[in-house]
Amino acid sequence: MPKGYIIGHIEVTDPEGYPEYVQKDTPILESHGARFIVRGGQSETPEGAPMGRHVVIEFDSYEAAKAAYNDPEYQAVADIRRRCAESTIILVEGVE
C-alpha cells in the first residue's frame, strides 16, 4: 500500500504566533502515525513563487493522511496556522 503525505508550503506572516501552531499540531498528527520528513530548513525555489517554509509529513497510507488532516482537533489547531501564515496544503498518495 502506498504511503500518504501532507505537504505544506507556508509563508509565515506572524512569527510570534506561529510557534503555538507547531507545538499543538505535532502531537495530534503523530497520534495518526505522522513522521515529519521535512519541517523548515534550508530551501531554494528554482521555479515558481518562493515560500518561506516547507513541510512534508509521511503517513502509512493516503487514508491516514486524510484522517489526520480532517481530524476536528487538528482543524481547530489549523486555525492558528491560518491566522499566522499563508499556506498551501496538499494531501497526496505516494508511489508503491
User: For position 57, which CATH number holds?
Assistant: 3.30.70.100
Q: Is the pLDDT of residue 50 over 90?
A: no
Instruction: Give the cell for residue 56.
Output: 512534508
Number of domains in the chain: 1
Sequence-ordered list of residues with C-beta below 8 angstroms from that of 60, at least 6 positions apart, any chain: 1, 3, 4, 33
* Res 49: pLDDT: 87
pTM above 0.75, yes or no: yes
Mean pLDDT of 82-89: 96
What percent of the chain shows pLDDT beyond 90?
92
Full residue range of the structural domain in which residue 68 is found: 4-93
Residues 6+ apart with CB under 8 A from 52: 10, 11, 12
Q: How far is CA 14 from CA 21, 36, 38, in A?
A: 11, 22, 21
- What does pLDDT average to over the chain? 96
